[in-house]
Structure 1
């Protein structure tokens, strides 16, 4: 399953008041693994940035003076997200701004027509009711390193959210196998060196009824704790 973790930075809080997107950051996950593909763009908003917003993300009007406008990059942006499951923290904010940008350039489609949107803030509130569920709070809860996050930044926050999302849903961000450059190719080399061709067949031990029931009970608990987001159950359903 292809997923795109997305974040934006803006000139202010309300698109209805004329505020615009000034940074878009996206990272791609494929089958719950970071692919290394990303979309990152600063944008010229054709308006001043609120002082309070600058204090949050540190992006200034002067820095954006020579940056492209949304209309200049929209084709590449939509090609990157279309058909993916979008992972966003507090999705109504980012989706509202993106839909506003699309309306301003006359694009008839909106994010909801291009992608399925998953709001990790809603997920976190279901999993941890009554607790703080900001991105920083989730980093502390799931032991995700965000020590390099002095200011908000769309790409940086998307990268951090990807790690948080994988931790929230019981996955892992990456698996390092001693610096192997190609998992598929090196797996074959390792297999040939450790398992000779004339080895006897491996004994197959099937799960007992009690073990299968224990497995089902565990999945039920995971599904309940994750608000119905248990990936194993989804795969078994396929």
Structure 2
């Protein structure tokens, strides 16, 4: 049975939602058995406040980019529908959970349970305790192309993180195992079909006589004719 999870990322106006900072971008990717599918969610959000210059340096967005975008209350149902009740994966996940839950709290909506949280930063620190474990650092470690990452971008960061997550969890090997299992299943089906009882065709006397005449006419002193 396939296991669904969702990898997501947010961009914000700052670092503290309880001091007025808001979400300006959400992206999410569907994973099946920890491998990405083509199903994703992405939206830019009007934060209903200004964008500090320090935040713009991180993600590149200014107020003019967002002033005509929907507000969080207008996208919340679509977002919650996409993530369902599945596990939620993010890099430094407590940050993203904190912001999403602050937005949900403003709307008197049920918060995301922390039991759903999978933090890739924590996974990376456990695996590489003495190394830098930012998304950039992990991409470099695993030779993942960073050429498009000029600024933080939620959708691009999700795509990069999905590749990192595969490496951190051995997901690529699990994918190969699934493919191998499918090949084995196909091979067994073929083997079973190959073991069916053969059907023997017995030629008639007339067919045998015609065959002998054909061989005699085609070959000079045929050995086949002598033994048959």
Q: TM-score range by the shorter chain?
A: 0.7 to 0.9
Residue 111 (1) aligns with residue 107 (2): no
Aligned 1:60-99 pairs, distance under 5 A = 60-99=62-101
**What stretches of structure 1 move > 4 A for 4+ residues in a row?**
173-176
Residue equivalent to 1:128 = 128
SS in 2 for 1:41: strand
> Which residue is 1:21 aligned to?
23
3-state DSSP class of the match of 1:111? coil
Deviation, 1:104, is 1.1
Which deviates the most, 40-49 or 140-149?
A: 140-149
**Following superposition of structure 1 onto structure 2, how do residues 168-207 of structure 1 map, counting pairs within 5 Å?**
168-172=168-172, 197-198=193-194
Partner Cα separation in structure 1 for residue 34 and residue 92 of structure 2: 21
Please say if residues 44 and 68 of structure 1, whose CA atoms lie closer than 8 Å, have aligned partners that are also in contact.
Answer: yes
More helix by share: 2
2: CA distance between counterparts of 1:191 and 1:174? 20
Instruction: Say which SS state the counterpart of residue 131 (structure 2) adopts.
Output: coil
What CA deviation, in whole Å up to 9, does each residue of 1:60-102 have, x standing for no partner?
A: 1001011000100101101111211111100111111001100
Counterpart CA distance in 1 for 2:174 and 2:8 is 19
Q: How does 1:134-173 map to 2 (within 5 A)?
A: 134-172=134-172
Partner Cα distance (2:4, 2:39) in 1: 11
Q: Which runs of 5+ in 2 are unaligned?
A: 197-228
Cα RMSD after superposing both structures: 2.7
Normalising by structure 2, we get a TM-score of: 0.75
Paired residues, number: 189
The equivalent residue for 1:236 is none
Structure 1 residue runs without a partner (length 5+): 177-182, 201-238
Q: Aligned to 2:194, what secondary structure does the other structure show?
A: coil
Aligned partners of 1:4 and 1:26 also within 8 Å: yes
Q: Distance in 2 between matches of 1:96 and 1:70?
A: 15
Shift of 1:171: 1.6
Mapped contact 1:142–1:168 kept (Cα < 8 A): no
